Structure 1
Amino acid sequence: MTLPILFEDGEALVIDKPAGLAVDRPRSGGESLEDHLDELKLGFQRAPVPVHRLDRDTSGCLLLARNPKALKRFSAAFEARTVEKVYLGIVAGTVAEESGTIALALSKISSAESGWRMIAARKGKPSVTHWTKLAEIGEATLVRFVPETGRTHQIRIHALAGLGLPLLGDPVYGAGAARGASRTMLHAWSIAMPRDGKPPVSAVAPVPADFRALGFDA
């Protein structure tokens, strides 16, 4: 597997992570980004380190830091919410409105039978996502999501609880694989992070083939 590099300089890499590749090593084993970090050294002594996480099913822009100082600064930028991430998601249904903002707190629950999942809950962590409808084909809609916060499964839950529609193919919060979707149809389309004294980190990941196969492009 060759991981496309969307941005590169002395302290940052942005790769186009393919759907199906876990960022962290799964408990059950199997391939993960860790298997590819040495090849992402690109002449540096240190292997790069992921600054944030994407779900295994989610494709697109993933930022990696190439040294400890950069990792500290980039992590602080995420904490300060100065990093803009834009996602494309296909929801299973039609969306009546053209745009809006979803503000629903999120909390984690777990059970022996079903494992863990996130839910919308008043006592959860504040979470905000802005969205815009981009296109509609049959009973599916392409939506642009811009999260202000970075909670686990935030867009997946906000689509379900805020729009009333799960992401197409979501096995946890939706109906699973359906209408040609073999995974949760979520793509980290772009990332932009300002830096003091340097050009911003900025990258766009091409719309993946499985989105285009359903007729959606950005």
Structure 2
Amino acid sequence: MMNTKQHSNPLRGFQTSQQQQGFTLIELIIVIVILGILAVTAAPRFLNMQSDAQAATLNGIRAAMDSASKMVQGKALIQSVQGQQNGTVERVDGVNNVTTRFGYPIAAWTGSFENLLDIDVPGEFQQTVVTTRISTRQNGTNLNIPGSANNPTLVIFPAGYEAPDNSRNNSENDTCFVYYKNNIANNTQRPEIEVVGDC
């Protein structure tokens, strides 16, 4: 008697199909539409990060200006120059003194904030001094930057932006800056330091 073994089929129980399935055209279109909607809603958030970073940097500069003005005012009290309209506060190094108005740094870069802030001007940032009030521009945009010949305002803005101006239209990028103005109407009040961060 011959031993005949039957070989079992290892694929028994699995059915092979000649028909392969994939995504239908409708399913692909739905996925593409959903990805398009996500891209439209998410892209502006990612594209606006540079603007947010510049606004945050301006807020940091504002805080540094505020801290520096408080330190200079404290030093002016110690040196008894807080009541002088035009005074000088000596720094510890004795080299880079700070010009003051009623004990606070004057609204200028040279002789004042260049000796107090560690920012790249000119370079990453630009500065200008405003000697006339900038309020409503021709297109109706309100910047509201104080300034006069006897009490100017220091304006610091990122490189690539323009200095604020009354004559420009809204399309021009001059609404990204921080400004510093001494308060001479009441010499006991702190300077006005504001950020306009429409970067």
Into which bin does the TM-score normalised by the smaller protein fall?
Answer: under 0.3
Higher relative contact order (CA 8 A, sep 6+): 1
Query: Larger Rg: 1 or 2?
Result: 2
TM-score, length basis structure 1: 0.23
- Please identify which structure carries the higher strand content: 1
Select the structure that is richer in helix.
2
- Give the alignment's TM-score, normalised by structure 2: 0.24
